[in-house]
A = this chain, B = another copy of it.
Amino acid sequence: MTNDALRHDGRAPDQLRDIRITRNWLDHAEGSVLVEFGRTRVLCAASFTEGVPRWLKGQGTGWVTSEYEMLPRSTNTRSDREARKGKVGGRTHEISRLIGRSLRAVIDTKALGENTIVLDCDVLQADGGTRTASITGAYVALVDAIADAKARKLIPAKAEPLTGSVAAVSVGIIDGRPVLDLDYPEDSTAGTDMNVVMTGTGEFIEVQGTAEGKPFDRAELDALLDIAAKGIVDLTALQQKALAETARERVL
């Protein structure tokens, strides 16, 4: 296979899947997004509540956190519910923490005041890249929740809790070639797998690369980072486009 051959679904190496961002998919949540990266479909709900966890009280700062979970039949074969097993698995914890950290990186918690925003990211259908779709969609829900809080005067109109935008994408090496935004079939065969979280201005928030098969060298790492940066530019544009549109009215 030559480096310019197309991928199994016809995409170019540096091409995202079809990305759809549907705002206000829910009526109750202060912000909500159904985000789709191809067949991967994640429902991101932002819940704004006044007050902060006990360990933060009285410090004048807010809190942003996230919980990620997969529906039992989001995957090809059914998985047991974590609630039934009575414990949250390591992978679920890991991804929840990653999403929370990524969003906090663009939040000025002082400007948020003593308020909490929880981002629930529930994977309705999984086809690779659920954590990167979650971060990308949750950012949009977060923007809407903050706007809603301003409209309801829960935070001052001139406060600006957001310090930038954030998006995330996966990259990997398949058959020796770096590719962007892997779907599940690609993810299963990639020798190296990396998730990159960046700001809309091209800086890194989180880089997590893992050699699934053989270790990778510095040149491969550099190529992966290049292609990820390109994908983040595209995702940032799609987020801005979605936010520029008039969203469906929530039925309160």
**A interface list, Cβ under 8 A from B:** 26-29, 32, 39, 43, 45, 47, 49, 67, 69, 71-78, 81-94, 96-97, 101, 105, 118, 120, 122, 124-125, 127, 164, 194, 198-199, 202-211, 214-218, 221, 225, 229, 251
Contacts and interface: CB of A to CB of B under 8 A. Distances in A.
A218 B82 CA distance: 38
Given A83-B83, A94-B93, A204 B217 contact: yes
Contacts of A49: 77-78
Contacts of A73: 26, 28-29, 32, 45, 47, 120
Given A49-B78, A203-B211, 9 more contacts: A27-B127, A28-B74, A32-B73, A45-B73, A67-B72, A72-B120, A83-B85, A218-B225, A221-B225
A251 B198 CA distance: 31
Contacts of A209: 204, 206-208
B199 A205 contact: no
Contacts of A87: 83, 86-88
A231 to B, nearest CB: 15
